[in-house]
Amino acid sequence: MTFLAPLFLLGALGVALPLWLHWRDAGPAERRVVPSLLLFEAGEQPSVRRRQLQHFLLLALRTALLLLAALAFARPIWPSLLGASPASEGSLQLIVLDASFSMAYGERWARAQSIARDLIAALGPNDRAQVLSASSRLEILTEVTQDASALRDAVSKLEPSASRSVEDRLRQSLRAHVEQLERRLAERRLAVQVHLISDFQRSSLETRAAGLGLAPEVRSVTHSVAEPSPANWFIEDVRFVPGSEGRVRLDVSVRGVGTPQARKTLVLAVDGAPEEREGLELPADGRASLSFAAREWPVGETRARVRIEPPDALPRDDLHHVVWAQPAPRDVLLVANPAAAREARAYAAALEIGDPLGARIERADPRALAGRELETVAVVVIVDAPLPEAAQKRLRAFLERGGGMLIFAGPAVAGKNDSAGGRLEITGHALDAPVRADTAFRVQRAETQGDASPRALGENAGWSDVRVFQRASLRPASGDGVLLRTGDGAPLLVEHPVGKGLALVFASGLGQSWNDLPLEPVFVSFVRESIRYLADRREPQRALRVDDVLALQGEAAQVYDPRGAPVLALAETQQGKNLSVVDVGFYEVRRPSGGYTVAVRSDPRESDVRSRSPQEIALLDAPGERAGPIQVASGGAGSTPGKSSQPLGTPLAWPLLCCLAAVVIGESSVANWRLRAQEEEPR
């Protein structure tokens, strides 16, 4: 016997309750009439009464009631004896169409729809079917129905999406859906059969598992719509490369998969400018790149499109959308202790070499910060400068609004090695007395990094050459990320969030008595990348892939898709929740603080249209393994729509419920009879 909900069997433990009640009930004391108490001897009343089970018929009925209820809710199925069972009521055909991006290649989608219509036409009078689509997630397009017209309409209206299909996720979603249907339809004794119509891309396969992970009795049938030798060219990558004098070059990489040697034309269309065309020779089954001439891009956003001509069998990936955002020049404010003027000059020189923002480097005296406007400042760099209280409050507010800050804690901030240390009031970090190394500390990357780390550090390989002679004893706060440590395990570079902003705290100065970082090649890289990282946090995302998350960061906004339709309902615009982008093109984000555009492209793995071999596809037809009881029968090896197969057994839930009703009536009758008998007994 098999149970669909075996956990309900735990309810059978409730039989202990009537057993305890009947054992506890010792019944009424026996009364006898005596002429006199003179002949009775005095004795002690026993404190323990002898108990025994009473009313066995009523006890048996109550125990049976609880056992039958537990069994009925556990939904048992009695196996067929020697294969003799009632005829099945029909079959359930699940028609799953792969609606991922690659299915738009050539005639694949037309073939998939044709196969789905043929399966619907082959349904028998007792068969039911359901249409589903599979891309980044499994979507139910129809209910389980016998209405062939509703099934055909769902197939006709479905189109390939821009999403990527991952077979492992499909296995999990499909298994959960089939199990849910089995629980709903177990009593109808339907044979379940799954039809998967797909191009079976190589890139969608992450693990080589046989079958779809369904129950062994649920038969899966694969229908491949792929061509024997598909070929596809697509734009693999587009990059903006800043050059001299504010000019920016556009580099484009094109790849061919299964393609012959060919010459293609790349067309660049920039808003407000005439199209540019460049020829590109592509090797067989390879990639090539070209650069469009550098140009001066206007301040603000500029939308651009790059396309391949002539288009191929998958024209949707021959077009690539990009957004160039030329920010207005912003300042890097360098605040230095007058005693650390040499270190400040070294930092400014390294920043001018890197020039990550094209921004002006402005130096400020710590005492003049209280009246300094910070609206145009992207990042504040503090080189071992103790700050007045008013300046600390102003910089703290700058961080909370989303600013970036890099702090070097040298002797003026951390104290001398014989002092009790200091405190960074801006970030709230406590600084114990500085530590001087007997031999120089070596710098190492922290094992656990936050999202930021690699970009903020610059060239990671150069840090092992840096020697630290003195360091501040920095105690990380809650929520901090440690990016660098010294050889003794102490934190050297800490990432600390403050409101919407971020501070990087370097627990050492830039003087020669503290470390030799300014003398190492990694210093220029670190200055450039840390400033870029801190400044970019204020910039919104402008390039995403389909199914990526568009982060609104809690700010009220409305988002418009590439067709200009609003994505969010009116109530959702005030919530600032993140959302997934599901289409290729330009998404427009409008918010009170200013709007921006996001360019969304398809996943390049979907452009690799090569399919798996027939032997690999055949593995999906193999029965999978699934833990747990068998729930529903399916068609055998030759099962097709319209032909029923025999079920695994007979569901016993309804017979048990009928028995339960009879026991309830019997228990009530016996209990009433017993109660009347007790009331009629003489007192």
Question: Residue 451's closest CA among 483, 487, 403, 421?
Answer: 483
Question: Residue 216's closest CA among 572, 630, 590?
Answer: 630
For the record, the structure tokens of 332 come out as 């890097």
Q: For residue 104, what are the CA distances in angstroms to 40, 91, 145, 159, 161?
A: 105, 31, 28, 8, 8
For the record, the structure tokens of 297 come out as 């891009």
Q: What is the dihedral of CA 524, 481, 475, 501, to 10 degrees?
A: 80
Q: Are strands 501-506 and 549-550 parallel, antiparallel or unpaired?
A: unpaired
pTM of the predicted model over 0.85 = no
Q: Report the greatest alpha carbon distance in the chain.
A: 130
Question: Residue 98's closest CA among 133, 67, 73?
Answer: 133
User: How many angstroms from the chain centroid is the CA of residue 101?
Assistant: 20
For residue 367, the number of C-alpha atoms closer than 13 Å in the C-beta half-sphere is: 1
Give 46's contacts (C-beta < 8 A, 6+ positions apart): none
Domains 90-229+611-647 and 232-327 share a fold: no
Question: What's the burial of 314, exposed, middle or buried (CB within 10 Å: 0-12/13-18/19+)?
Answer: buried
For the beta sheet containing 596-601, the strands, ordered from the edge strand earlier in sequence to the opposite edge, are 543-545, 596-601, 585-590, 558-560
Q: What is the pLDDT of residue 80?
A: 43
Please name the helix (run of DSSP H) or strand (run of DSSP E) that holds residue 431, with its range, or none.
strand 429-445
* Alpha helices, DSSP H, located in 428-498: 453-457
Residue found under tokens 């069994």: 71
CATH architecture of 331-516: 3-Layer(aba) Sandwich (3.40)
Q: What is the dihedral of CA 416, 417, 420, 421, to 10 degrees?
A: 60
Query: Domain-by-domain residue ranges, the chain?
Result: 2-29+50-80+653-680, 90-229+611-647, 232-327, 331-516, 543-601
Give 120's contacts (C-beta < 8 A, 6+ positions apart): 95, 129, 148, 151, 152, 155
Confirm or reject CATH 2.60.40.10 for domain 90-229+611-647, answering yes or no.
no
pLDDT in tens, 248-301: 899 999 999 999 999 999 999 998 788 999 999 999 999 999 999 988 887 778
Question: Residue 319's closest CA among 401, 366, 252?
Answer: 252
Whether 488 and 428 have beta carbons less than 8 Å apart is answered as no
pLDDT in tens, 61-105: 888 888 888 888 887 766 543 333 344 467 889 999 999 999 999
Whether 427 and 490 have beta carbons less than 8 Å apart is answered as no
For the record, the structure tokens of 346 come out as 């070294």
Q: What is the pLDDT of residue 83?
A: 37
Whether 456 and 529 have beta carbons less than 8 Å apart is answered as yes
Whether 214 and 112 have beta carbons less than 8 Å apart is answered as no
Q: What is the pLDDT of residue 283?
A: 95
Whether 145 and 120 have beta carbons less than 8 Å apart is answered as no
- CA torsion sign for 207, 209, 215, 219 is positive
| Alpha-carbon span 495 to 525, nearest angstrom | 18
Phi, psi of 647 (to 5 degrees): -80, 170
For the beta sheet containing 262-270, the strands, ordered from the edge strand earlier in sequence to the opposite edge, are 276-282, 262-270, 300-309, 319-326
Q: Identify the bridge partners of residue 598 per DSSP, sorted by sequence position.
A: 587
User: How many angstroms from the chain centroid is the CA of residue 215?
Assistant: 27
| Alpha-carbon span 58 to 61, nearest angstrom | 5
The ranges of the chain with pLDDT < 50 are 80-88, 207, 416-420, 448-453, 624-648
Question: What's the burial of 572, exposed, middle or buried (CB within 10 Å: 0-12/13-18/19+)?
Answer: middle
Give 373's contacts (C-beta < 8 A, 6+ positions apart): none
| Alpha-carbon span 10 to 389, nearest angstrom | 67
Please name the helix (run of DSSP H) or strand (run of DSSP E) that holds residue 471, with its range, or none.
strand 467-474
| Alpha-carbon span 127 to 633, nearest angstrom | 14
Give 133's contacts (C-beta < 8 A, 6+ positions apart): 96, 97, 98, 99, 139, 141, 158, 161
Give 294's contacts (C-beta < 8 A, 6+ positions apart): 243, 247, 248, 249
Reported for 429-432, long-range contacts at CB under 8 A and 24+ positions apart, including other chains, are 429/474, 429/475, 429/476, 429/477, 429/494, 429/496, 429/505, 430/475, 431/472, 431/473, 431/474, 431/475, 431/507, 432/472, 432/473, 432/475
Q: What is the CATH number of domain 232-327?
A: 2.60.40.10
For the beta sheet containing 76-79, the strands, ordered from the edge strand earlier in sequence to the opposite edge, are 2-3, 76-79, 649-651
Q: H/E/C letters for each residue in 603-651?
A: CHHHHCCCECCHHHHHHHHCCCCCCCCCCCCCCCCCCCCCCCCCCCEEE
Q: H/E/C letters for each residue in 130-145?
A: EEEEECCCEEECCCCE
Whether 633 and 189 have beta carbons less than 8 Å apart is answered as yes
> For residue 29, which amino acid is it?
A
Q: What is the pLDDT of residue 284?
A: 95
Q: What is the pLDDT of residue 614?
A: 84
| Alpha-carbon span 266 to 278, nearest angstrom | 5
Radius of gyration of the chain, Cα coordinates, nearest whole angstrom: 38
For the record, the structure tokens of 503 come out as 């501070």
Question: Residue 491's closest CA among 466, 478, 467, 472?
Answer: 472
DSSP E strands: which ranges in 179-311? 190-198, 219-224, 232-242, 247-257, 262-270, 276-282, 287-296, 300-309
Q: Tell me the three state secondary structure of residue 672.
A: helix
Q: Are strands 190-198 and 219-224 parallel, antiparallel or unpaired?
A: parallel
Q: What is the pLDDT of residue 226?
A: 92
Whether 218 and 177 have beta carbons less than 8 Å apart is answered as no
